C-alpha cells in the first residue's frame, strides 16, 4: 500500500485518471440502482401457498396444511408456523428466527415441501415466496352512477391498471426538475393490484337426462374436463 501511494504521488496523471474512472463507474451504477419512494421491506417470513380447487377448508387443512407442517416442523431457523385453510387454497406462514438467513431457510422449506408425496391429486404445485411488506402510494375506487355488471367493471379496472403500469414521468420543465430526474431516474409505477373482483370461471351445465342416456355421471364429466384443462407450451418467438 505504501509503495502504491508513493508511485501515485510521483505520477499525478495516473492518479487523476484513476479518480476519473472511479467517478464514471459510480455514475454508471447509480442509474442501475433500484429506487423506490416506499421500498419493500422483509419481515423475515416465508409463505407456502397450495391451491386445492373445489376443496372445503376442512379438506384443505387435512390434505395440504397438515402435511406441510409435519414436513418442516423440525427444520432449524424456524420460529413459528401458522396455517390458514380457506376455500380452494391453504397457506402455511413461517416466521424465521433472528440470525438466520431467510433465503437459506426458504430453500430448506422448499426441499421438504417438494419431497411431500401424499398431497391430494387435485392439489396444485405449492408456491413459496418471501413475505414482503408493500406500502401502497394510492388507492383508486371505481364507482358508477348506474348499474354495471361485474365483467364491465373488471375490464375497466384492468384497463386502468395497464395504463398506470405504462406510465412514465414527463420531461423536466425546469432546471431543478432536470437535475432531479438526472439523479433520480425516470419515475414509473412498478405494481398495480386489483381488489374486489372474482376470478374468471367457465360454467358448464349438463343435462341429467342426457347423462343417464349415456351412462355417465357428473364425476365423469368433471374428470374429462380436468384431463383436457391443461397448460401446453406454445413454442418460442424469435
Question: pLDDT digits over 121-145, tens only?
Answer: 889 999 999 887 666 778 888 888 8
pLDDT in tens, 56-75: 899 999 999 999 999 999 99
Q: Is residue 215 situated within a structural domain?
A: no
Whether residues 49 and 113 fall in one domain: yes
Residues 159 and 90 in one domain: no
Cβ proximity of 42 and 132 under 8 Å: yes
Burial of 224 (0-12, 13-18, 19+ CB in 10 A): exposed
pTM for this model (two decimals): 0.48
Same domain, 183 and 144: yes
Angle among Cα 182, 184, 189 to the nearest 5 degrees reads 125
**What residues make up the domain containing 93?**
41-133
Work out how many domains the chain is built from and give that number.
2
Question: Residue 225 domain-assigned?
Answer: no
The three cell numbers locating residue 207: 343435462
CATH of the domain at 91: 3.30.70.1430
Does one domain contain both 140 and 173? yes
Angle at 210 (CA atoms; ends 209, 211), nearest 5 degrees: 90
Q: 92 has which bridge partners?
A: 48, 83
Asked whether residue 129 falls in the same domain as residue 156, the answer is: no
Together in a domain, 111 and 55: yes
Q: Is the pLDDT of residue 34 over 80?
A: no
In a domain, 226, yes or no: no
Q: pLDDT tens for residues 200-238?
A: 777 888 888 988 988 988 888 888 887 877 655 555 555
DSSP state string for 33-71: S---SS--EEEEEEEEEEE-TT--HHHHIIIIIHHHHHH
Amino acid at each position: 500500500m505504501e509503495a502504491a501511494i508513493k508511485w501515485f504521488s510521483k505520477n499525478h496523471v495516473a492518479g487523476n485518471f484513476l479518480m476519473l474512472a472511479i467517478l464514471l463507474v459510480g455514475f454508471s451504477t447509480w442509474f442501475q440502482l433500484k429506487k423506490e419512494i416506499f421500498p419493500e421491506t422483509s419481515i423475515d417470513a416465508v409463505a407456502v401457498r397450495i391451491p386445492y380447487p373445489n376443496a372445503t377448508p376442512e379438506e384443505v387443512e387435512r390434505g395440504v396444511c397438515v402435511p406441510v407442517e409435519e414436513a418442516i416442523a423440525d427444520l432449524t431457523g424456524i420460529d413459528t408456523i401458522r396455517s390458514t385453510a380457506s376455500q380452494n387454497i391453504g397457506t402455511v406462514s413461517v416466521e424465521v428466527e433472528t440470525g438466520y438467513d431467510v433465503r437459506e431457510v426458504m430453500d430448506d422449506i422448499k426441499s421438504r415441501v417438494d419431497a411431500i408425496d401424499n398431497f391430494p391429486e387435485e392439489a396444485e404445485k405449492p408456491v413459496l415466496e418471501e413475505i414482503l411488506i408493500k406500502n401502497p402510494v394510492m388507492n383508486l375506487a371505481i364507482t358508477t352512477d348506474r348499474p354495471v355488471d361485474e365483467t364491465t367493471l373488471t375490464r375497466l379496472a384492468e384497463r386502468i391498471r395497464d395504463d398506470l403500469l405504462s406510465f412514465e414521468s414527463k420531461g423536466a420543465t425546469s432546471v431543478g426538475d432536470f437535475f432531479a430526474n438526472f439523479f433520480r431516474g425516470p419515475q414509473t409505477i412498478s405494481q398495480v393490484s386489483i381488489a374486489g373482483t372474482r376470478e374468471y370461471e367457465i360454467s358448464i351445465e349438463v343435462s341429467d337426462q342426457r347423462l343417464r342416456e349415456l351412462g355417465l355421471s357428473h364425476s365423469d364429466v368433471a374428470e374429462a374436463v380436468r384431463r383436457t384443462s391443461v397448460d401446453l407450451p406454445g413454442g418460442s418467438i424469435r
